[in-house]
Amino acid sequence: MADIEQTLLHIYRDLHQIPELALHEFQTHDYLMEEIEKFSDGKDFVEIKVPKQLPTAILVRLQGTDPQRTIGYRTDIDALPTPEETGLEFASKHPGVMHACGHDIHMTVALGTLHYFLNHQPSDNLVFFFQPAEESENGGKLAYEDQVFTGPYQPDEFYGLHDNPQLPAGTIGCRMGTLFAGTTEVDVDFTGVQGHAAYPQFANDMIVAASQFINQVQTIVSRSVDPIEGGVITFGQFNAGTIRNVISGSAHLKGTIRGLTQTMIEHIDERLQAVADGIATSYGCQVDLKLNQGGYLPVENNPKLTADFINYMKNNDTVNFQETEPAMTGEDFGYLLSKIPGTMFWLGIGDPDNQLHSSHLIPNTDAIMPGINAITGFLENRMTEKE
């Protein structure tokens, strides 16, 4: 056990140094393939597949000894366009790119879990999915739509984790219902008439129109959303104008919607469109609203599978388990869970001074082995359950 622990620590540090952006995880893919092939050497019950339509993805299938089901386990492999500021000896070697969301931890835990089952052949079939493009480009949706999960690679149920710096290292966190919010990108273009600042009557000011749009949008969550359910609308970018004495004839907003259910997201979408239509009428301008959700649906855990997962973790004396609140962060595993029943859960990495996506994030690697032990224990227990 000590040998694999040191091997995985070395793997984690290697992966941390080679972060790559969505759909460009070529070095990461090659590194993972090399380690997977080492682990699986001489095992006649394993098959490795690289889908042609998603070439940085990897699927590893383990044939069960007496399969009742096929269980999927997913890990994401991409990184963020964030310059690293940790000062670590094994910091990113790719300027401006960092594993600031902990996908290096995700991959390491997945490899450790795979290693365990390669040395303890599972009774059920297992499919490990090393997924590109979680942070952008919705890799889970791409994989599903490209029919990556077909035939023997079709899971009956799917599991995956996300690291959490606010939980102590090695802690498993989960909840019934929604774990992560769904997200929708919002782009709004306003088109009016540019003019001289001294003659506003001959222009149609889109800074004013866009500002009123923003003000009215604030009432959607406060007055059109059930406060118990909640939602978020944030506009983080507002571009308009060229110089102080010219009335702007155009404006552009970029923002995001977050909701804990797909129904809530669609409700907010409808209210945004109604506000946009109202501003267009009130200001005699053109307002073009574009909404793009892609694969970032709410991560809604399957009731039965999640109850089983929580029950196992709660009653295992070797697991530090916490029931957690829903988070407004997004995750494209929600798309896969909308197609295949399953559960997503947290793994604590004990860095409470930093948030996910921080350039200073330093996961506590003491989380790796407890995470692997909890997952392998749960999966073995799941395999004993008759359908």
Q: Are residues 154 and 198 in the same domain?
A: no
Examine the domain organization and report whether 288 and 305 are in the same domain.
Answer: no
Let me know whether 273 and 357 are in one domain: no
Question: 3-class secondary structure for 149-182?
Answer: CCHHHCCCEEEEEEEECCCCCCCEEECCCEEECE
Look at residue 2 in the predicted model and tell me its pLDDT.
63
pLDDT number for residue 387: 76
Residues 328 and 260 both lie in one domain: no
Catalytic residue among 76, 124, 157, 351: 76
Write down the pLDDT at residue 228.
87
CATH number reported for the structural domain that contains residue 158 in this entry: 3.40.630.10
Looking at the fold, whether 268 and 338 belong to one and the same domain comes out as no
Dihedrals φ, ψ of 213, to 5°?
A: -60, -50
Residue 124 annotated in active site: no
| Structural domain count of the chain | 2
Tallying the residues shown for the chain, one arrives at 387
Extract the tokens encoding 153.
């690679």
Catalytic residue (choose from 78, 134, 135, 332): 135
Three-state secondary-structure class, residue 231: strand
- Per-residue model confidence (pLDDT) at position 178: 96
Q: Helix, strand, or coil here: 293?
A: coil
Closest to 378 measured CA to CA, from 108, 124, 165: 124
Residue 77 reports pLDDT greater than 70: yes
CB 86 within 8 A of CB 107: no
**Per-residue pLDDT band at 229 (split at 50, 70, 90):** confident
Using alpha carbons only, give the angle 85, 325, 169 rounded to the nearest 5 degrees.
Answer: 45
Q: Give the CATH number, domain containing residue 228.
A: 3.30.70.360
Amino acid at 354: N
Whether the pTM exceeds 0.85: the reply is yes
Predicted confidence (pLDDT) at residue 1 exceeds the cutoff of 90: no
Decide: helix, strand or coil at residue 111. Answer: helix
Write down the pLDDT at residue 386: 86
Same domain, 209 and 255: yes
What number is the average pLDDT over the span 90-100? 98
Together in a domain, 232 and 362: no
Q: Which of 247, 265, 292 is the last residue of a domain?
A: 292
pLDDT-derived band at 384, boundaries 50, 70, 90? very high
My answer on whether 303 and 154 are in the same domain is: yes
Using CA atoms, how far apart are residues 346 and 349, in angstroms rounded to an integer? 9
Same domain, yes or no: 194 and 89? no
Question: Which residues share a beta bridge with 347?
Answer: 163, 172
Alpha-carbon distance of 94 to 92, in angstroms, equals 5
Residue 265 corresponds to which tokens in the numbers above?
């997201």
Report the distance separating Cα 267 and Cα 272, nearest Å.
Answer: 9
Please indicate, yes or no, whether residues 96 and 152 belong to a single structural domain of this protein.
yes
- Arithmetic mean of pLDDT, 41-67: 98
Q: Write out the residue range of the structural domain in which residue 357 sits.
A: 2-180+298-383
137 classed as catalytic = no
Average pLDDT score over the chain:
97
Final residue in a domain of this structure, among 233, 268, 292 = 292
Confidence tier at 184 by pLDDT (50, 70, 90):
very high
Q: Are residues 122 and 174 in the same domain?
A: yes
Domain endpoint, select from 260, 292, 324: 292
For the chain, where are the E strands, in sequence order?
46-49, 58-62, 70-76, 125-131, 157-164, 172-174, 178-180, 182-191, 195-196, 231-240, 246-247, 250-259, 286-292, 299-300, 321-323, 342-348
Strand ranges for 260-320 from DSSP E: 286-292, 299-300
Whether 168 and 46 share a structural domain: yes
